[in-house]
């Protein structure tokens, strides 16, 4: 059984110098004083050689003609005063009171130096213990407690009816949809990275197919069936077990049984029009994931121009990401398919080598914001440079995963500016149970300013990333969320304060004291 190495995400929010502008129709909004693009404080960006595999076909010699903007020397650095509708007050009012109180309790524990360490120790024991009394799937009392608390905060449900109720509840609040994932996940330890084998023959291969690939495929197919058109499904290749990990580490094509499973998943997703987000993972296997992602994008992202079924995930905290993404955009441009891009800051700070990660959080923020601006405008820029002169920028579909309110506001400002390509699909997502103050601002803005925004382009599309599975299957996921809240102290405190302010606002309103 492969063990899980639990890692957290470092996304502590910086303090920004801000300007505030009021629009008569849509209230207050905020933009950064220093613009969107600053030079990264990095001496060199190392190119990952991710297209040298002999299994990759060569790109065709002829380039398709694209109608959108191609190469430019600049991107928007100022946001006009009428561009971004923002909520005037109380975005968290869209949440049920039970959700606000549970969120307040969770973030309060995560911020407490007294309560958090023992809570993490208990969750770590529950996530890795084989004893029946400590298994949520076998201990009914433990399962009941977890389902009413941490599980309810972060997870969708254990079966189809529960999952559908959760998704329907989020859409009733005002979310456009969800990014639904199956909870099964494996993260490599350093020792496992060096000791993998192919496992393609004999009893070991049968065991891998029966106990690893089979359950992963069945769970992922069920996830695609649970999702509805307009939703996304997150797919994590490492969950398929040892054969997948060995092939990815060595940049080999998917083994026979795994390829059959992936093909079946992609066919069902295309049939139901439910895009698949191939998750980024540790750098030990990321180049292999990139190879597989491009292979399936070539196959499935050509049917409807500008609409991707397969997305790759790009982590802005890696110094190599602008070069990597630019090379993928070049391939999409030359071969005529839509590149699906999910952009995140990064989730493996504790596992990836430190030297490949940006030196400061400000560098990561600059990279994230610069890449997002180029994608939204479909223009090369100072961060995302054109790999070749006069290379057309391809069609893209974008999912921005961010808990950073500043980055979300910047993305929305650019989207509503004249520089944006409003024909480009754009969704903005946060994890379920986290950053609700960011998510609900999107939902609230869409509700309050829907008519104004529609005249300019489109209503903000807010999504929640949420996993499903038994309580036991979700424990490792829950543990990762707990560590993430611990590492992002400033953001967690901000969330706690926002929830506490909302509780007080509702109390004053109930007494008739609110303005």
pLDDT in tens, 145-201: 988 888 998 999 999 999 999 999 999 999 999 999 998 765 545 665 566 676 777
Sign of the CA dihedral running 410, 110, 178, 269: positive
- Identify whether the C-beta of residue 232 lies closer than 8 Å to the C-beta of residue 175: no
Task: Say how far residue 277 (Cα) sits from the centre of its chain.
Answer: 8
**Which residue bears the tokens 């002829």?**
62
Please determine, for residue 426, whether its predicted confidence score (pLDDT) is greater than 60: yes
- pLDDT higher for 16 or 491? 491
pLDDT for the residue 60:
37
Give the strand pairing for 396-401 and 339-344. parallel
Question: What separation in angstroms does the CA of 174 have from each of 234, 388, 441?
Answer: 21, 42, 11
pLDDT for the residue 416:
84
What DSSP string runs through 226-264?
HS-BTBEEEE-GGGG-HHHHHHHHTTPPPPHHHHHHHHH
Region 480-503: mean pLDDT is 78
Confidence of residue 343 (pLDDT cuts 50, 70, 90): very high
Selection from 6, 150, 3, 16 nearest residue 490 by Cα: 16
Q: DSSP 3-state helix, strand, coil percentages of the chain (rounded to 5)?
A: 50, 10, 40
Predicted TM-score (pTM) of this structure: 0.79
Q: What is the largest CA-CA distance in the chain?
A: 73
pLDDT in tens, 104-134: 888 888 778 888 788 888 888 888 788 889 8
Selection from 7, 75, 84 nearest residue 406 by Cα: 84
Count CB atoms within 10 A of the CB of residue 121: 10
Q: How far apart are CA 484 and CA 86, in angstroms?
A: 28
SS3 223: helix
Q: How far apart are CA 270 and CA 372, in angstroms?
A: 26
């Amino acid at each position: 059984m492969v063990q899980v190495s639990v890692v957290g995400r470092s996304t502590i929010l910086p303090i920004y110098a801000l300007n505030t502008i009021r629009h008569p129709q849509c209230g207050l909004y905020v933009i950064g004083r220093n613009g969107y693009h600053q030079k990264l404080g990095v001496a060199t960006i190392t190119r990952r050689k991710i297209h040298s595999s002999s299994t990759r076909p060569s790109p065709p010699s002829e380039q398709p003609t694209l109608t959108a903007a191609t190469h430019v020397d600049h991107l928007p650095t100022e946001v006009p005063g009428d561009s971004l509708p923002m909520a005037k007050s109380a975005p968290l009012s869209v949440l049920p009171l039970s959700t606000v109180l549970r969120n307040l309790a969770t973030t309060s524990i995560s911020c407490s130096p007294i309560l958090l360490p023992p809570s993490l120790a208990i969750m770590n024991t529950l996530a890795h213990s084989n004893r029946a009394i400590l298994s949520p799937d076998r201990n009914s009392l433990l399962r009941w407690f977890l389902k009413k608390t941490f599980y309810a905060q972060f997870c969708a449900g254990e079966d189809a009816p529960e999952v559908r109720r959760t998704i329907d509840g989020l859409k009733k609040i005002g979310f456009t949809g969800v990014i639904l994932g199956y909870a099964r996940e494996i993260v490599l330890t350093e020792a496992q990275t060096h000791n993998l084998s192919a496992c393609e023959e004999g009893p070991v291969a049968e065991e891998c197919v029966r106990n690893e690939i089979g359950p992963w495929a069945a769970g992922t197919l069920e996830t695609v069936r649970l999702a509805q058109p307009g939703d996304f499904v997150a797919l994590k290749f490492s969950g398929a077990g040892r054969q997948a990990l060995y092939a990815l580490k060595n940049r080999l094509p998917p083994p026979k049984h795994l390829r059959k499973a992936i093909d079946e998943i992609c066919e069902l997703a295309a049939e139901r029009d439910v895009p698949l987000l191939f998750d980024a993972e540790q750098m030990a296997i990321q180049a292999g994931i990139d190879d597989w992602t491009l292979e399936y994008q070539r196959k499935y992202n050509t049917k409807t121009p500008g609409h991707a079924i397969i997305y790759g995930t790009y982590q802005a905290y890696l110094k190599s990401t602008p070069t990597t993404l630019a090379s993928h955009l070049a391939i999409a441009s030359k071969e005529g398919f839509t590149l699906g891009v999910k952009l995140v800051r990064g989730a493996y700070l504790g596992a990836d080598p430190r030297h490949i990660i940006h030196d400061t959080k400000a560098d990561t923020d600059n990279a994230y914001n610069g890449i997002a601006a180029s994608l939204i405008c479909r223009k090369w820029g100072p961060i995302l440079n054109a790999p070749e002169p006069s290379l057309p920028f391809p069609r893209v579909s974008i999912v921005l995963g961010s808990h950073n309110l500043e980055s979300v506001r910047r993305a929305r400002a650019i989207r509503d500016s004249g520089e944006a390509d409003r024909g480009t699909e754009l969704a903005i997502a946060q994890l379920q149970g986290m950053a609700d103050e960011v998510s609900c601002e999107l939902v609230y803005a869409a509700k309050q300013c829907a008519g104004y925004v529609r005249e300019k382009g489109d209503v903000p599309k807010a999504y929640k990333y949420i996993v499903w599975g038994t309580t036991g299957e979700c424990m490792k996921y829950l543990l990762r969320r707990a560590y993430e809240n611990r590492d992002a102290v400033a953001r967690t405190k901000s969330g706690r304060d926002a929830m506490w302010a909302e509780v007080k606002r509702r109390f004053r309103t109930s007494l008739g004291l609110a303005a």
